[in-house]
Structure 1
Amino acid sequence: MTYPDDLPPPSATWFTHRGVPLIRTVASALTALDAVTGLDAFTLPYPPEAQRALDRTVLACLERGAEPPLSLPDLLSWCRERPVADWPVDLPADVLGPEDLLLDPESSRPTELCHEWAELSTDSAGRQRDREIVFAALRLCREHGEEDAYTAFRRLLVERPVLTSAEAFLVSVDHVLDPVKELLRRIYRPVPDSYLRKGEYAVCGRCRTLLAPVGDGSWWCERDRCRRRGEAPIERRIPREESGELLQLERPLRQFVTGPGQAEAELETALTGLGLRVRMWPGYDAYDLHVTFPDGWMWAVDVKDWAHPAFLGRAARPVPRTPPYDEAFWVVPQSRVTDRPGYLAAYERNRPASARALPLVTDTALRARALTRLRENGNEGEHGA
């Protein structure tokens, strides 16, 4: 997932829907407050972000003659139990599915959709944070002339969002990462006790993030994509007394770097398994994967693991021409398209004219396209099965 300078502003059509800035305000407040206090710790007076979200929701309801939430806990109940499509607000057709919630009903934590709404907010600190860190890493690695350091930095954030004290020490003495050592110390944060159950932490076997204990004795994964695949498998349990000071990446980076990066890594594995040469985050992250076929034909691939196709469509832009390639694609995990019927069509409806030539395909379809090309050029070999 490469980082454009910024997401485009809402189009004139979006501005005609008064519910868009409201939902952005609520989502931004939820993600900011969850990062600082948790969403179950509010007492009067409410924090300014929460009070602003409540005030704007009440005003929107009164303007529509609807019953408003009576308090912040009441608004949180809306976010947890009431699909946003059922709120008395005016929203564009493509921005919501019928069951979309801002808070997960099991854990009461912001959903990925909530984080993506907050990403659109002009005053979202989380939105700026992930870009701030990635741009800082790019600048530092360029200054040192160390493209390998940037690649190692990105791979670390993707593959190891959780570090024990011993693992953090090994990272600290890895000289490849020297240009970004100070940055790493800032973005890996101590894990709060809320992740403990009976003196142990648990790491998800699919997305490698920490699992949160929930009331029924099970574990909750923060990734929507992971939860839809069933109960989270536990990759490892980390006893508190053995972990030292357990660290995890801060939430904006887990959401917008680790999650999409794992989809990128899965595609890397699939394409190298076909015998293709794959270079990750080439040209200091000009795009995600540079793929070379045996006959020299080259693809540029950007992976976009977004829950919301309209937001993705609005962010579409041509893939940078350097490093050079013959074809370019944006790729979304097949699971996103399966979970939300009409995903590809919604993307296309919201894609700007400047990106009309940019196809969006699933990772499954891209692998099939690669296999077809290998067969047509007589290069399938032993990898084509």
Structure 2
Amino acid sequence: MNAVPANEDGLPVHAADWSAHDGIPLMRTLASALTALDAETGLDSFTLPYPAEVQRALDRTVLACLERRAEPPTSLPDLLSWCRERPVADWPVDLPPDAVGPADLLLDPDSSRPTELCHEWAEQTRDSALVLRDREIIRAALRLCREYGEEEAYTEFRRLLVTRPVLTAAEEFAVSVDHVLDPVKELLRRIYQPVPDSYLRGDTYAVCGRCLTLLTPLLHGGGWWCERDRCRRLGPPPVGRRIQKEEAGGLLQLERPLRQFVTGPGRAEVELEARLTALGLRVRMWPAYDAYDVHITFADGWVWAVDVKDWAHPAFLGRAARPVPPEPRYDEAFWVVPRARADDRPGYVASFERNRPAAARDLLLLTDTELVARARARMKRTGTGRAQEDRDA
């Protein structure tokens, strides 16, 4: 493969040129302000004087418009309308081709909450405390489990955050007496927080049947709203379990940054685990204290290493690309994205490849469907596992 010209940071020249577009820092400023203030106050409760971060976002947007002789937003409510109704690609700002898709919005048009794409833009702001919160928690869990020498504790901690983002009082008690989780008990008490009454319809909470987070009741029509963009694109959220307030005994849920950046992507990881296990493969999750996401062993001893990336924005994913860590050892390594992500944005893999740094130019990105198909094909080719049993039947 021919080498791709790269800058001193290892990014392809065309990807590194993002810094030459003044719309990039503007999007980061906007996204950081929207996500931080949504978490603290809700986007419908801004009053004058605006917080400095919000005022800066408004000022920069107005300036960008004036420089292009375009009509700017006249106020913060007007700017929020832009974020909710006007695709970023239609804004009069200077952005590189891979920065946004034709329908990308910063706020969900129904709820006015930041979209997943907005959260990913905010994550590009290195000094944003909100988007770093999930990493701080995961690093703390890793440190505590290593100090105890308990890799299983970390694995169960991650699985808990992915599969049980909502806990009743009885479930929280069961977690509190699970000795496997002893190294992270205090951490768990801090990141599971009381659920406000805004999630109630009457005396009932509802959990999304797809992503397992709490649903928000809509004011009109009696429906429910799911905070996950990917879930909403699949249609109205299916109600999973319903929890009566009296029976909940003080319902708890993971704090928002962890739901966004751990629970959501983690669903793709455990779903892939289930599909590979169903093939008869030996699967180990988050091995060696989360060196990577999935360690897969075939019957002949061949090993795959997989990092699952549930990102809405393929260019951001490309810019974050790096080789899979070499330990635990493996024979082949891949990054994997849910097929739904690639279907949502034509050219997803190509955009990823255009933006990955030179050090990761050989990193292969597959959809989860492609990875499972490769696993089946390998099992058939080597005559191992259930593929051989099916052929012999």
| TM-score bin, normalised by smaller chain | over 0.9
Residues in 1 aligned to 2:187 and 2:71: alpha-carbon distance in whole angstroms: 47
Name the counterpart of 2:196: 192
Does residue 343 of structure 2 align to residue 349 of structure 1? no
Correspondences of 1:249-264 after superposition (within 5 Å) = 249-264=254-269
Residues in 1 aligned to 2:353 and 2:16: alpha-carbon distance in whole angstroms: 17
> Structure 1 residues 173-182 or 45-54, which shifts more?
45-54
Residues in 1 aligned to 2:168 and 2:213: alpha-carbon distance in whole angstroms: 13
Aligned length: 379
Name the counterpart of 1:42: 46
The answer on whether the counterparts of 1:298 and 1:325 sit within 8 Å (CA) in structure 2 is: yes
Residues in 2 aligned to 1:129 and 1:298: alpha-carbon distance in whole angstroms: 33
* TM superposition shift of 1:382: 4.2
* TM superposition shift of 1:46: 1.2
The CA RMSD over aligned residues, in Å, is 1.6
Name the counterpart of 1:183: 187
Q: From 140, 146, 152, give the equivalent of 1:142.
A: 146
Does residue 96 of structure 2 align to residue 96 of structure 1? no
Residues in 1 aligned to 2:365 and 2:331: alpha-carbon distance in whole angstroms: 16
* TM superposition shift of 1:241: 2.0
* TM superposition shift of 1:9: 9.2
The answer on whether the counterparts of 1:213 and 1:219 sit within 8 Å (CA) in structure 2 is: yes
* TM superposition shift of 1:383: 6.5
Residues in 1 aligned to 2:10 and 2:119: alpha-carbon distance in whole angstroms: 17
Superposed structure 1 runs of 4+ greater than 6 Å apart? 7-10
> Structure 1 residues 120-129 or 357-366, which shifts more?
120-129
Name the counterpart of 1:24: 28
Correspondences of 1:228-243 after superposition (within 5 Å) = 228-243=233-248
Q: From 260, 268, 274, give the equivalent of 2:273.
A: 268
In structure 1, list runs of 5 or more residues that go unmatched. Answer: 1-6
Name the counterpart of 1:374: 379
Does residue 73 of structure 2 align to residue 69 of structure 1? yes
Change in 2 beyond 3 A, CA 1:383/1:245: farther
The answer on whether the counterparts of 1:106 and 1:214 sit within 8 Å (CA) in structure 2 is: no
Name the counterpart of 1:245: 250
Name the counterpart of 1:4: none
Residues in 2 aligned to 1:12 and 1:145: alpha-carbon distance in whole angstroms: 41
Residues in 1 aligned to 2:175 and 2:247: alpha-carbon distance in whole angstroms: 18
* TM superposition shift of 1:201: 1.2
* Letter matched to residue 38 of structure 1: G
Residues in 2 aligned to 1:59 and 1:363: alpha-carbon distance in whole angstroms: 43
Normalising by structure 2, what TM-score? 0.94
* Letter matched to residue 28 of structure 1: S
The 3-state SS of whatever aligns with 1:93 is coil
> Structure 1 residues 23-32 or 240-249, which shifts more?
240-249
Residues in 2 aligned to 1:185 and 1:65: alpha-carbon distance in whole angstroms: 52
The 3-state SS of whatever aligns with 1:141 is helix
* Letter matched to residue 201 of structure 1: Y
Residues in 1 aligned to 2:204 and 2:58: alpha-carbon distance in whole angstroms: 37
* TM superposition shift of 1:279: 0.3
Does residue 86 of structure 2 align to residue 82 of structure 1? yes
The answer on whether the counterparts of 1:273 and 1:383 sit within 8 Å (CA) in structure 2 is: no
Name the counterpart of 2:131: 127
Please give the per-residue CA displacement for 1:276-306, whole angstroms capped at 9, x wherever unaligned. 0000000100000000000000000000000
* TM superposition shift of 1:12: 3.7
Normalising by structure 1, what TM-score? 0.96
Does residue 282 of structure 2 align to residue 277 of structure 1? yes
* Letter matched to residue 258 of structure 1: T
Does residue 305 of structure 2 align to residue 292 of structure 1? no
The answer on whether the counterparts of 2:11 and 2:356 sit within 8 Å (CA) in structure 1 is: no
> Structure 1 residues 289-298 or 57-66, which shifts more?
57-66
Residues in 2 aligned to 1:354 and 1:143: alpha-carbon distance in whole angstroms: 32
